[in-house]
Amino acid sequence: MYNIFSTKSSVERPPLEGEPPPKKLKTEDVLIKKLVENQLKTQSTLIEQLAQKKEFVASDPVTSATGHIKGETRLQDFQSTLNNLDERTKLNSKGLTDRDIEMHREFHKMGADFWTKYKSINKGTLEKRLSAIQHLLQQSDNCQASEGTISRHQCDYISAVKPQSLETKLLKFVTVNNPQKHLSGPMDELPALEKQFMKDIEDISQCNVKKIRKTARSLARRIESLDCRVAPANYTEPANLKRDTLWDVKELISAPTKQVQTVDKTRKYGCKPQDLYIVKDGTIIKLTADRTVIETGQKLSLNQLKNIAKFSNYEAGQPSNVLFLKNISKCVTEIFLRDFLAKLQLEATSIRWAK
């Protein structure tokens, strides 16, 4: 008999006209239910935490797809761009930088050309970096991913529809990625190096007691073997010393002789002579004492002058009696100059001032 009060029959009946279909259980609902169950096990509930106006924000920023799509694109290109963005975001959450991601992709695509492109970087450093990236990817792949997780772009769409709803806040809290795992760099090894350095210093600074005692015993044996008898003093009494008793013996103190410093008047005191050098035949030669003074006033003969290619057609002219002067003070007159040149036995018919 059909029972109208049966719950089973009421659930299985088809929906009436205009009535909305029953709500199906989705993956997000399952995640929210698990989260609520875990929160109820603690002392404070999730509702109390949300009442304190705490915002659940993802640890990694969401990459917008608008800046990576240019102009009109096909649906397949749009889907591939979104997949690349999701993959890049996932790799960034594992601790890889954009340069590491690009290097990892080029290593698998380019093959031997990869080493040619990065030839400016040491090959050992590149291999160490690639192995660290591969190890981090394998370590993250071994971890079991939570079932039913959605991408960040879908989460952004859901949060944009109802940003302040309780379901959106719960969904944001569930979809937060694990904290980033950064690759170990040179600066991360500093604490270990400092610890090892301090340990080495402590090992060096510790005194070896056995070695010190052994050295002390050997020194004691050497001291005992020494002859400690007092040697007789080599002292002779002067002849003019008067001795009345043994207590009246006094030692004569000789007055110190004054040392007279003799001054050599023939010696000339002055600055240290300079070392002069000259370049000859492409080598640096030190000038001797007889060649330190540069000889001046020597003139080439007419034959020596013609041997030079530049002056092969040179002919001796008449000497000029005109004296050209420049930068002479205004107080110097022509009469004074003629008297001065006469003392030097120089004759000049005329004197001209050069501008």
306, 290 contact by CB (below 8 A):
no
Domain map (residue ranges) of the chain: 74-142, 285-344
- The per-residue pLDDT of the chain, averaged, comes to 72
Q: According to the model, what pLDDT value does residue 90 have? A: 78
Q: According to the model, what pLDDT value does residue 107 have? A: 85
Helix, strand, coil percentages, rounded to 5, for the chain: 45, 5, 50
At residue 144 the predicted structure's pLDDT band, cuts being 50, 70 and 90, is: very low
Q: In angstroms, rounded to a whole number, what is the distance separating the alpha carbons of residues 42 and 5?
A: 39
At residue 5 the predicted structure's pLDDT band, cuts being 50, 70 and 90, is: very low
pLDDT at 104 over 50: yes
H or E element at residue 4 = none
At residue 1 the predicted structure's pLDDT band, cuts being 50, 70 and 90, is: very low
Work out the number of other CB atoms within 10 angstroms of the CB of residue 169: 19
Output the six-digit token pair for 111: 């093959």
Rg (CA), the chain: 53
Higher pLDDT pick, 187 / 279: 279
pLDDT at 164 over 80: no
For 314-327, how does the pLDDT look when each residue is reduced to its tens digit (9 = 90+)?
888 887 778 788 88
Higher pLDDT pick, 179 / 23: 23
Q: According to the model, what pLDDT value does residue 349 have? A: 66
Q: According to the model, what pLDDT value does residue 56 have? A: 52
